[in-house]
Structure 1
Amino acid sequence: MTSKKQLLFAYGLAIHLLLVGIICYAAFPAKAPEEPIRIMYQTNAGKVLFDHYTHTDATGYGASCFDCHHHPMDDDSALIACGECHQVPAEDGAKPDRCLDCHDESDIEDTEMISRADAFHQGCIECHEQFEKGPQSGSDNCSKCHVL
Structure 2
Amino acid sequence: MNSQFRLNHSSLCTCAGLGVLGMLLWSTVVLGAEPTRQEQAQQRALERVPQIKEVHQESLLRRSQRLQERGVSVKDIRQTYFVLDSPIIKELEDRYAPVRFNHGQHAASAGDCTICHHKRPAADIAYNPNPELVRCSACHQQSFAPEFPNRLGLKAAYHQRCIQCHEDQNKGPQICVDCHLEQVPKHQDLVKLPENPDPLEVTAECLRCHAEQAEDFKLTAHWLWRGHSSYTVENERAVQHGKGTTAINNY
2:112 alignment partner in structure 1 = 64
Deviations 1:66-104 (A, max 9, x none): 11011029xx93121110111147xxxxx7731xxxxxx
Say whether 1:50 aligns with 2:101.
Answer: yes
| Structure 1 residue 46, shift from structure 2 partner | 1.5
Contact 2:81/2:103, CA 8 A, preserved across alignment:
yes
CA gap 1:34/1:96 in 2 versus in 1, 3 angstroms: farther
Contact 1:69/1:80, CA 8 A, preserved across alignment:
yes
Q: Over the residues paired in the alignment, what is the CA RMSD in angstroms?
A: 3.1
- Post-superposition, which runs of at least 4 consecutive aligned residues in structure 1 deviate over 3 A? none
Say whether 1:142 aligns with 2:167.
Answer: no
For structure 1, which runs of at least 5 residues remain unmatched after alignment?
Answer: 1-32, 90-94, 99-110
The structure, 1 or 2, with the larger RCO (C-alpha pairs under 8 Å, 6+ apart) is 1
Report which stretch shifted further, 125-134 or 33-42.
33-42
| Structure 1 residue 147, shift from structure 2 partner | 4.0
1:41 alignment partner in structure 2 = 84
TM-score by length of 2: 0.32
Counterpart amino acid of residue 130 in structure 2? S
Identity of aligned residues (%): 32
The separation in 2 between residues aligned to 1:70 and 1:63, in whole angstroms, is 14
For structure 2, which runs of at least 5 residues remain unmatched after alignment?
Answer: 1-75, 122-128, 183-251
CA gap 1:56/1:50 in 2 versus in 1, 3 angstroms: same
Number of aligned residue pairs: 92
Query: Between Structure 1 and Structure 2, whose CA radius of gyration is higher?
Result: 2
Counterpart amino acid of residue 47 in structure 1? P
| SS of the residue 1:49 aligns to | strand
2:163 alignment partner in structure 1 = 125
2:136 alignment partner in structure 1 = 82
CA gap 1:63/1:96 in 2 versus in 1, 3 angstroms: farther
| Structure 1 residue 55, shift from structure 2 partner | 0.5
| Structure 1 residue 51, shift from structure 2 partner | 0.5
